[in-house]
């Protein structure tokens, strides 16, 4: 086996929603109140919804750009690769990268559909959330059967509607949903409240995965406004640990031994210590905390329920024996700044050569297919979706992977002396965009 023989499934990628996202999925009246795609006087794109301003965030879509230009740009669709928001071009970019199938999270609506939770009129939010799911499952994923793993979002502010949406999505063939790992940040009860019981039951009955994506609930902390931005970026995957520890103590995991949770964009290298620490903490403190894991260790529960994902994690793969090798999957993170597109196979192959062929199959495609109930080979012969076969198709189709250069917003002002970019620089940019957006939305 070599890298061209690999079959790679990515369980974490993203889509920047196209302007016509809702056009085919809403009546004229409901379309009138749906999120709106706008262009300002400088050509920058943004969405508005119920008084909210939702700008494009540059690091979310820098794939195919020169690293020297990373920052807050691009801020318009014209500055992005077409594959960021056009599904046919996305498949072309997947082919060039040797990616057979992909699970995509939303952008303007939030990884977890959080924009609909923040909106004041929840009756409209419910209508538009369902329309978003229809677009995502039927139009985006449905355009190329077998190339995408559908992932829905839920109206968790309304439990009856949430259960109905789970059942509706399941009938559409959707096997995963994305939610906020800290619903208290949305004004909802904590995951330990009985409020969530109907949802747990519906998810398990439909054998659906709950995806907890970094940044949706507990934001990655930064030490100060003077902290170099790379310090912030370094901790982002591990920021999921706060939510993971909370979910690990969820009593529903004991009631529902088949419940599935994916830590999206988490990395894996830190997880062996996380499990070790959870076991130690439980052993030392269970006498007074009255915690219980059904006679199991916390690490046993983690290995049974939690899928962990990696982009480039040589240390984690060297220590695969300290994880559950059946609960580790690959993620590409296209089109975000961490993505290794179009060189995923080269980076991945370096990290997995020491594994057995059976282990390689698990972490590159087998675990993803099993966990997400996704049968790639129902749609394709294996030999047609290997890295070598997909790249050959991309070459024949003339897919250009040459880095592009654009002008755009920079963390530092023009003419400012080069220095380390710090958290405060980006906070100022966020505040500037937010103020401009408030003026536009107002």
Predicted confidence (pLDDT) per residue in 326-362, tens digit: 999 999 999 998 999 999 999 999 999 999 999 999 9
Sorting pLDDT into bands at 50, 70 and 90, what band is 187? very high
**pLDDT value at residue 5:** 98
**pLDDT value at residue 297:** 97
For 372-395, what is the mean pLDDT? 98
> pTM of the prediction?
0.94
For 239-251, what is the mean pLDDT? 94
**pLDDT value at residue 432:** 60
Q: To the nearest whole number, what is the mean pLDDT of the chain?
A: 92
Q: What region, left, alpha or beta, does residue 215 occupy, with left being phi > 0 and alpha being psi -120 to 50 degrees?
A: left
The DSSP secondary structure of 235-276, one letter per residue, reads: HTGGGHHHHHHHHHT-THHHH-TT-EEEEET--STTHHHHHH
**pLDDT value at residue 430:** 63
Every domain of the chain and the residues it spans: 3-441
Fold of domain 3-441: TIM Barrel (3.20.20)
Cα–Cα distance for residue pair 12/265, rounded to 1 Å: 7
Cα–Cα distance for residue pair 284/277, rounded to 1 Å: 10
Q: How many beta carbons lie within 10 A of that of residue 6, not counting itself?
A: 23
**pLDDT value at residue 434:** 56
Rg (CA), the chain: 21
Cα–Cα distance for residue pair 351/334, rounded to 1 Å: 19
Sorting pLDDT into bands at 50, 70 and 90, what band is 433? low
All residues at 6 or more sequence positions from 62 whose CB lies less than 8 Å from its CB, including other chains: 69, 70, 73, 74, 335, 336, 337
Cα–Cα distance for residue pair 69/63, rounded to 1 Å: 11
pLDDT at 441 exceeding the cut of 80: no
For 79-90, what is the mean pLDDT? 94
All residues at 6 or more sequence positions from 109 whose CB lies less than 8 Å from its CB, including other chains: 17, 35, 115, 116, 129, 132, 153
Q: Which two tokens stand for residue 283?
A: 């052993």
């Amino acid at each position: 086996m070599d890298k061209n023989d690999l079959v790679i499934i990515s369980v974490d990628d993203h889509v920047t929603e196209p302007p016509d996202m809702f056009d085919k999925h809403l009546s004229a009246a409901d379309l009138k109140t749906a999120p709106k795609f706008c262009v300002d006087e400088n050509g920058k794109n943004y969405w508005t919804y119920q008084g909210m301003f939702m700008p494009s965030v540059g690091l979310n879509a820098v794939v195919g750009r020169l690293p020297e230009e990373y920052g807050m740009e691009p801020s318009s669709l014209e500055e992005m690769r077409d594959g960021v928001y056009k599904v046919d071009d996305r498949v072309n970019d997947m082919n060039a990268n040797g990616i057979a199938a992909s699970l995509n999270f939303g952008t303007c609506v939030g990884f977890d559909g959080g924009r609909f939770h923040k909106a004041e009129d929840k009756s409209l939010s419910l209508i538009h959330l369902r329309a978003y799911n229809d677009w995502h499952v039927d139009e985006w994923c449905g355009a190329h059967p077998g190339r995408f793993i559908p992932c829905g979002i839920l109206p968790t502010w309304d439990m009856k509607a949430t259960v109905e949406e789970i059942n509706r999505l399941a009938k559409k063939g959707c096997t995963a949903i994305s939610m906020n790992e800290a619903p208290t940040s949305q004004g909802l009860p904590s995951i330990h409240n009985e409020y969530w019981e109907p949802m747990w039951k519906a998810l398990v009955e439909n054998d659906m995965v709950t995806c907890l994506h970094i940044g949706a609930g507990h934001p990655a902390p930064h030490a100060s406004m003077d902290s170099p931005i790379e310090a912030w970026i370094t901790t982002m995957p591990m920021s999921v640990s706060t939510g993971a520890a909370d979910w690990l103590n969820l009593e529903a995991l004991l009631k529902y031994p088949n419940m599935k949770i994916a830590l999206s964009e988490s990395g894996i290298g830190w997880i062996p210590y996380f499990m070790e620490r959870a076991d130690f903490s439980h052993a030392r403190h269970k006498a007074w905390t009255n915690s219980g894991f059904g006679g199991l260790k916390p690490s046993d529960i983690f290995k049974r329920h939690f899928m962990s994902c990696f982009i480039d994690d040589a240390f984690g793969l060297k220590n695969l024996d300290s994880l559950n090798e059946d609960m580790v999957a690959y993620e590409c993170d296209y089109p975000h700044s961490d993505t290794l597109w179009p060189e995923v196979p080269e980076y991945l192959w370096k990290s997995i050569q020491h594994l057995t062929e059976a282990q390689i199959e698990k972490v590159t495609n087998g675990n993803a297919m099993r966990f997400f109930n996704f049968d790639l080979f129902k749609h394709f012969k294996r030999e047609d979706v290997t890295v070598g076969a997909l790249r050959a198709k991309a070459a024949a189709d003339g897919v250009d992977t040459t880095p592009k250069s654009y002008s755009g917003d920079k963390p530092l002002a023009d003419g400012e002396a080069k220095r380390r970019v710090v958290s405060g620089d980006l906070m100022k940019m966020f505040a500037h965009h937010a103020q401009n957006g408030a003026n536009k939305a107002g």
